[in-house]
């Protein structure tokens, strides 16, 4: 039982990491019906920006460094959308797929060049009390004896908070309403006076800022190095598809589900045997999830039916 | 005035023979005069060319996003390695075996591709390609022993020239491999070139251009799509076997998603939906990487900043009214200078050593490839071959023959020349 | 306010290589209901889209709205200046709720009477109030049309463009709809430019009319006059 619960916690924590990359992808998909294959790399860059501000060059307090990094990431995202993607017809997917792959290459190479493909030891941590393993609920050690690291809880909680903020932005603000309008019917949005270009920029800025913040939060856990998001991308794609490509909540749930599947199911399949580490063979599982979801229910769990025509 | 040749005429045949002859001559010269280490690279380029050819069949000609060709190469290479080392096979037998294995997996993937379209297919195949190296380490059915697991597998029997071919030096087998691989590659290109012009080939292209039209004309879409997938995978498998033949070593780290993107770069640079583009693209990718890694030694960050500065300058100057070219230029130059100065100031202020030095060989060529990919998508989407064809058609034009019309039929097209030019530019 | 709300001169438009409009001239006077009639493919929808300068069509010519030249303005800006457009097929936001659709209608407004207006349209179309939190895509054709019109009116436009509002609706609903248009025109003084195939009903509430044929105006004049014109009767009124 303890093992099972331990796996559940691990799974939720991993799931939070997948959601962190899946949610920005869904935001961009909602706004533009495009998949940004460079999403993970942009988030990674955001984490490195924070590192530069907080540790490598200056010693800005981590919270402020995080905010600066988010702003930089948002600007970068807006720049990319404006200059490279806007001029293409969104129904012709090939150029956009190629461009986001090109950006993937460039950002990955840039980070690899500047920061080496090594793991950075001094990772800025937004939650300084997360100091490794602690036993939670001392009073129940004999019954549960769970080993929960504080930063796991911090990660899961932060994700929930970020989701809450995102929900508020999308559903309770005018910009958010306009964003959902553009996502629903771009032509009518124009007819209502919405400047669609500005909303697209807003969408990308929001997505990249969110992605950067997410990467900053999980960096202490999955190690800050240029390839940190490479495999996460696969999980994120599966999570986004599972939840429905245009549902932010769906992507979050998808992330947790896949994290749980990975940890709990694979943990018990002895032959495959490798545990819930992000860099091991279990990459198989998200591929299978992707294929199954897209074959049987392309709109995912919470997506709208209309996305099937993509 | 372009020199016009009638398709199928004797002149045309001579023209084609001459072109082919030039190609053979070039390859023979390469084989004779290139040093061994360059031949090694040429061999790698030919394996890559065959792989890109397969990729083109699905992505270029069929318009389907099958972005997992790197996995099929891996399958071919692993098959070759394992069959030779574990089963004692001969190199030649591994070719059909590797192709068959890749073909079967390709068919299997083609079935979901029937239902999963466009971007979704891209997502799935990208995931598959990224996951594939990990798959080869799965502790199932003794897979890691066959693929060499994380350390790779040395193919102990190298492809060396037989004793009855004294011109080849046994200690430097690259030249001999060049001969063999050239023959394989030429054969593959010839086969695909013919396929594209045949009826099944036309069907595949029809799927890309107009699915509904194709279905209505009686093309059995499902069968063709799945077969197309399988075929392109098989060709990728051939490329994988060629890869193994050349390098004598297979390791999962060689077949990552990075290889996939390299293939795409080769595809786009060469020319989407052209047969010869695969060869050009492969040369660019393989030798490009080598050139970058050997000769380029400048700061990656500076290069990115410069490129961004140029792009920004172009973007801003395009916003200016077209009627004032001097103003456009000044504004653009001004933006560029401002951006360059800002960059210098920023680099000076931020003391990160990586900004000035180059860390290893990989990142610079990777970034350059990224820029090349984006650049081609923007400025030359038809690739090198496509652009070359446009230029060359001003020198020599092949006029396709109009089929014999039945009695009393009237030709309604007003401008036959324009029609024929447009037909020509869409041929392979 | 000037006498002429909308002035269009030499309007040409094309989709890619296909020329659709070959020089359309028309005028809509303030406060009137003007109708454009024409067969399928004549270019009626294209005319409305070109007036709004929608990116989907490449157009040239002079369009003046309440005296201001809007030929090169952005669609958003044009809407901000008081023009509203109900596109063909309603153009609701299907995933958003009815009330959110109305809120979006008021996007360009900065005053605080939006809620009052929403209540007003709920009063005029009670069925919308019943379905206010329902997804707009789940409403019936007639309800969506009411929603689309209300949404357009939420911006308190000076000029309302309507593209084939009767398309796909049952006759009874169409009659109700057009009497509502008439009422709105009389009560609010909203100028209307309606593109229609259902000529009879449209002409009955209009003051002036144009007939569009293969990209240019073939006939124009007071609505009553066109109604009695035998050519129009034969072609469009099924007489």
B127 and A115 within 8 Å at the Cβ level: the answer is no
* Residue at A142 is within a domain: no
Same domain, B196 and B345: no
Same domain, B291 and B306: no
B64 SS3 class:
coil
- Chain B: closest CA distance from residue A172 (Å): 31
- Chain C: closest CA distance from residue A31 (Å): 14
Residues in A closer than 8 angstroms to C151, CB to CB, are 192
Question: Among partner residues A95, A105, A272, which is closest to B139 by beta-carbon distance?
Answer: A272
CATH number, position A179: 1.10.3470
Question: Among partner residues A177, A185, A193, which is closest to C91 by beta-carbon distance?
Answer: A185
Q: What is the pLDDT of residue C161?
A: 94
* Residue at B97 is within a domain: yes
ipTM of the complex: 0.87
Say if residue B199's pLDDT is above 50: yes
Q: What is the pLDDT of residue A283?
A: 79
A57 and B351 within 8 Å at the Cβ level: the answer is yes
As given in the structure block, the two tokens for residue B180 are 């063999």
Q: Of B295, B312, B341, which one is at a domain's C-terminal end?
A: B295
Residues 50-79 of B with CB under 8 A from A: 59, 63, 65, 67
Report the alpha-carbon distance of residue C141 to residue C208 in Å, rounded.
Answer: 28
Question: Among partner residues B65, B257, B312, which is closest to A97 by beta-carbon distance?
Answer: B65
Question: Among partner residues A95, A105, A241, which is closest to B370 by beta-carbon distance?
Answer: A105
CATH number, position B67: 1.10.3470
A284 and B377 within 8 Å at the Cβ level: the answer is no
Same domain, B220 and B77: yes
As given in the structure block, the two tokens for residue C54 are 């929608």
- Number of domains making up chain B: 2
Say if residue A41's pLDDT is above 90: yes
A178 and C96 within 8 Å at the Cβ level: the answer is no
Residues in B closer than 8 angstroms to A112, CB to CB, are 359-360, 362-363, 366
- Average pLDDT, integer, range A80-88: 83
Per-residue pLDDT band at B359 (split at 50, 70, 90): low
Query: In this predicted model, what pLDDT tens digit does every residue of C126-174 receive, in sequence order?
Result: 889 998 899 998 998 888 988 999 999 999 999 999 999 888 888 888 8
* Residue at B24 is within a domain: no
Report the alpha-carbon distance of residue B341 to residue C163 in Å, rounded.
Answer: 54
Domain that holds residue A253: 2-115+152-309
- Number of domains making up chain A: 1
The residue that leads in pLDDT, B305 or A266, is B305
Which candidate in A40, A68, A277, A290 is best for mutational testing of the B interface (most B CBs within 10 A)?
A290
* Residue at A137 is within a domain: no
> From B112, which residue of chain A is nearest by alpha-carbon distance?
A295
The residue that leads in pLDDT, C199 or A188, is A188
Same domain, B327 and B276: no
DSSP state of C97: B
Q: What is the mean pLDDT of chain A?
A: 82
* Residue at A127 is within a domain: no
Q: What is the pLDDT of residue B170?
A: 67
Query: In this predicted model, what pLDDT tens digit does every residue of B173-192 receive, in sequence order?
Result: 788 888 889 999 999 999 99
- The chains in contact with chain B, meaning 3 or more Cβ pairs closer than 8 Å, are A
Same domain, B376 and B283: no
* Residue at A147 is within a domain: no
- Chain A: closest CA distance from residue C226 (Å): 31
Alpha-carbon distances, residue A64 vs A46, A47, A70, A73, C200 (angstroms) = 13, 13, 10, 14, 67
Residues in A closer than 8 angstroms to C155, CB to CB, are 192-193
* Residue at A145 is within a domain: no
- Average pLDDT, integer, range B94-114: 89
* pLDDT more than 70, % of chain B: 86
* Residue at B15 is within a domain: no
Q: What is the pLDDT of residue C43?
A: 86
Residues 111-150 of B with CB under 8 A from A: 112, 115-120, 122-124, 126-128, 130-131, 134-135, 137-140
- The chains in contact with chain C, meaning 3 or more Cβ pairs closer than 8 Å, are A
> C155 in contact with A at a CB cutoff of 8 Å?
yes
* Residue at A217 is within a domain: yes
A113 and B351 within 8 Å at the Cβ level: the answer is no
* Residue at A189 is within a domain: yes
**Pairing state between β C18-29 and C4-15:** antiparallel
DSSP for chain A? -HHHHHHHHHHHHHHHHHHHHHHHHHHHHHHHS---TTHHHHHHHHHHHHHIIIIIS----HHHHHHHHHHHHHHHHHHHIIIIITTS-TT-HHHHHHHHHHHHHHHHHHHHHHHTTSPPSS---S-TT--S--BS-GGGTTTT--B--HHHHHHHHHHHHHHHHHHHHHHHSHHHHHHHHHHH-HHHHHHTT--HHHHHHHHHHHHHHHHHHHHHHHHHHH---TTTTHHHHHHHHHHHHHH-TT-HHHHHHHHHHHHHIIIIIHHH-TTT---S-TTSGGGHHHHHHHHHHHHH-TTTTT--GGGGG-
Q: Which domains does chain C have, with CATH numbers?
A: 4-82+157-236 (3.40.50.300), 94-154 (no CATH)
**Bridge partner list, C63:** C8
Residues in C closer than 8 angstroms to A177, CB to CB, are 96, 100, 103-104
Same domain, B287 and B348: no
Same domain, B259 and B158: yes
- Average pLDDT, integer, range A189-201: 90
B329 contacts A89 by C-beta, under 8 angstroms: no
A191 and C80 within 8 Å at the Cβ level: the answer is no
Same domain, B278 and B320: no
Same domain, B191 and B224: yes
Q: Of B249, B265, B295, which one is at a domain's C-terminal end?
A: B295
Query: In this predicted model, what pLDDT tens digit does every residue of C88-134 receive, in sequence order?
Result: 888 899 989 999 999 999 999 888 888 988 998 898 888 899 988 99
Same domain, B180 and B92: yes
The residue that leads in pLDDT, B221 or B195, is B195
Say if residue A70's pLDDT is above 90: yes
> From B382, which residue of chain A is nearest by alpha-carbon distance?
A95
Alpha-carbon distances, residue C202 vs C28, C160, C206 (angstroms) = 15, 15, 6
Same domain, B281 and B174: yes
**Bridge partner list, C36:** C195, C210
Q: Please list, in sequence order, all residues whose beta carbon lies within 8 angstroms of the beta carbon of residue C161, skipping any fewer than 6 positions away.
A: C48, C51, C52, C83, C84, C85, C86, C192, C193, C194, C195
**Which helix or strand (DSSP H or E) is residue C58 part of?**
strand C58-65
Query: In this predicted model, what pLDDT tens digit does every residue of B48-68 receive, in sequence order?
Result: 999 999 999 888 888 888 899
Report the alpha-carbon distance of residue C182 to residue C33 in Å, rounded.
Answer: 8
* Residue at B93 is within a domain: yes
Say if residue A166's pLDDT is above 70: yes
Question: Among partner residues A102, A116, A233, which is closest to B359 by beta-carbon distance?
Answer: A116
* Residue at B161 is within a domain: yes
**Bridge partner list, C4:** C29
Per-residue pLDDT band at A133 (split at 50, 70, 90): very low
Q: Of B272, B295, B318, which one is at a domain's C-terminal end?
A: B295
Question: pTM score > 0.90 for this model?
Answer: no
Domain that holds residue B193: 36-295
* Lowest-pLDDT choice from A290-294, B308-312, B317-321, C52-56: B317-321
Per-residue pLDDT band at A257 (split at 50, 70, 90): very high
* Residue at B205 is within a domain: yes
C22 contacts C14 by C-beta, under 8 angstroms: no
Residues 159-218 of B with CB under 8 A from A: none
* Residue at B370 is within a domain: yes
Residues in B closer than 8 angstroms to A291, CB to CB, are 112, 116, 124
For residue B206, count other CB atoms closer than 10 A to its CB: 19
């Amino acid at each position: 039982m303890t093992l099972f619960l331990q796996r559940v916690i691990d799974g939720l924590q991993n799931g939070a990491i997948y959601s962190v990359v899946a949610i920005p992808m869904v935001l961009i998909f909602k706004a533009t019906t495009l998949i940004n294959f460079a999403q993970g790399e942009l988030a990674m860059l955001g984490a490195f920006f924070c590192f530069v501000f907080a540790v490598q060059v200056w010693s800005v307090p981590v919270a402020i460094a995080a905010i600066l990094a988010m702003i930089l990431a948002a600007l970068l995202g807006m720049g990319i959308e404006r200059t490279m993607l806007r001029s293409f017809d969104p129904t012709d997917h090939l150029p956009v797929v190629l461009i986001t792959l090109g950006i993937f290459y460039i950002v990955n190479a840039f980070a690899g060049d500047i920061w080496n493909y090594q793991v950075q030891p001094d990772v800025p941590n937004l939650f300084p009390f997360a100091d490794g393993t602690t036993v939670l609920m001392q009073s129940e050690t004999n019954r549960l004896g769970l080993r929960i690291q504080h930063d796991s809880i911090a990660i899961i909680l932060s994700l929930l908070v970020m989701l809450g903020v995102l929900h508020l932005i999308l559903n309770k603000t005018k910009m958010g309403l306009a964003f959902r309008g553009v996502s629903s019917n771009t032509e009518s949005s124009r007819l209502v006076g919405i400047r669609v270009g500005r909303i697209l920029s807003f969408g990308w800025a929001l997505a990249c800022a969110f992605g950067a913040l997410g990467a900053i939060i999980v960096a202490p856990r999955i190690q800050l190095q240029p390839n940190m998001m490479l495999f996460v991308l696969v999980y994120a794609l599966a999570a986004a598809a599972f939840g429905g490509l245009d549902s932010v909540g769906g992507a979050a749930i998808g992330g947790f589900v896949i994290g749980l599947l990975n940890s709990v199911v694979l943990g018990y399949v002895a032959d495959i045997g490798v545990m819930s580490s992000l860099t091991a063979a279990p990459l198989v599982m998200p591929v299978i999830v992707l294929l199954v979801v897209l074959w049987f229910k392309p709109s995912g769990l919470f997506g709208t039916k209309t996305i099937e025509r993509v | 005035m372009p020199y016009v040749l009638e398709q199928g005429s004797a002149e045309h045949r001579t023209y084609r023979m001459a072109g082919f002859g030039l190609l053979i001559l070039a390859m023979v010269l390469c084989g004779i005069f290139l040093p061994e280490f360059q031949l090694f690279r040429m061999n790698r380029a030919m394996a890559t060319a065959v792989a890109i050819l397969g990729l083109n069949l699905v992505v270029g000609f069929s318009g389907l996003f099958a972005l997992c060709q790197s996995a099929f190469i891996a399958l071919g290479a692993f098959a070759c390695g394992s069959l030779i080392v574990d089963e004692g096979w001969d190199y030649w037998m591994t070719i059909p075996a590797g192709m068959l294995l890749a073909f079967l997996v390709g068919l299997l993937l083609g079935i979901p591709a029937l239902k999963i379209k466009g971007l979704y297919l891209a997502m799935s195949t990208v995931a598959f390609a990224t996951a594939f190296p990990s798959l080869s380490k799965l502790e199932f059915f003794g897979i890691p022993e066959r693929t060499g697991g994380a350390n790779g597998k040395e193919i102990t029997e190298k492809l060396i020239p037989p004793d009855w071919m004294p011109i080849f030096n046994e200690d430097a087998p690259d030249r001999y491999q060049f001969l063999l691989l050239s023959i394989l590659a030429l054969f593959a290109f010839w086969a695909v070139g013919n396929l594209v012009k045949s009826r099944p080939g036309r069907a595949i292209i029809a799927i890309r251009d107009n699915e509904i039209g194709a279905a209505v004309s009686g093309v059995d879409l499902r069968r063709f799509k799945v077969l197309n997938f399988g075929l392109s995978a098989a060709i990728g498998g051939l490329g994988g076997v060629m890869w193994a033949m050349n390098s004598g070593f297979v390791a999962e780290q060689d077949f990552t998603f990075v290889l996939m993107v390299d293939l795409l770069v080769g595809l786009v640079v060469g020319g989407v939906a052209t047969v010869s583009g695969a060869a050009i693209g492969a040369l660019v990718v393989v030798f490009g990487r080598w050139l970058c890694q050997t000769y380029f030694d400048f700061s990656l960050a500076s290069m990115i900043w410069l490129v961004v500065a140029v792009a920004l300058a172009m973007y801003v100057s395009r916003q200016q009214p077209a009627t004032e070219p001097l103003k456009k230029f000044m504004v653009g130059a001004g933006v560029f200078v401002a951006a360059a100065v800002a960059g210098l100031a920023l680099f000076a202020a931020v003391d990160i050593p990586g900004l000035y030095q180059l860390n290893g060989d990989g990142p610079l060529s990777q970034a350059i490839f990224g820029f090349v990919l984006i650049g081609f998508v923007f400025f030359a989407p038809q690739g090198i071959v496509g652009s070359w064809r446009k230029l060359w058609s001003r020198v020599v034009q092949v006029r396709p023959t109009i089929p014999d019309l039945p009695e009393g039929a009237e030709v309604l097209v007003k401008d036959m020349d324009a029609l024929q030019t447009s037909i020509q530019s869409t041929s392979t | 306010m000037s006498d002429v709300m909308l002035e269009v001169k030499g309007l040409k438009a094309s989709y890619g290589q296909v020329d659709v409009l070959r020089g359309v001239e028309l005028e809509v006077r303030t406060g009137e209901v003007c109708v454009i009639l024409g067969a399928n493919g004549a270019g009626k929808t294209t005319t409305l889209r070109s007036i709004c300068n929608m990116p989907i069509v490449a157009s040239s010519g002079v369009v003046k709205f309440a005296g201001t030249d809007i030929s090169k303005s952005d669609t958003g800006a044009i809407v901000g200046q008081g023009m509203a457009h109900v596109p063909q097929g309603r153009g609701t936001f299907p995933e958003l709720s009815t009330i959110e659709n109305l809120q979006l209608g008021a996007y360009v407004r900065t005053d605080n009477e939006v809620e009052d207006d929403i209540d007003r349209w709920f009063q005029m179309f009670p069925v919308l109030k019943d379905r206010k939190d329902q997804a707009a895509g789940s409403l019936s054709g007639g309800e969506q049309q009411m929603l689309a019109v209300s949404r357009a009116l939420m911006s308190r436009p000076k000029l309302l463009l309507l593209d084939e509002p009767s398309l796909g609706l049952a006759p009874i609903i169409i009659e109700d709809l057009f009497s509502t248009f008439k009422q709105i025109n009389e009560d609010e003084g909203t100028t209307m430019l309606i593109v229609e195939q259902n000529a009879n009903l449209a002409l009955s509430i209009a003051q002036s009319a144009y007939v569009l044929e293969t990209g240019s105006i073939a006939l124009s004049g007071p609505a009553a006059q066109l109604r009695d014109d035998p050519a129009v009767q034969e072609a469009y009124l099924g007489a």
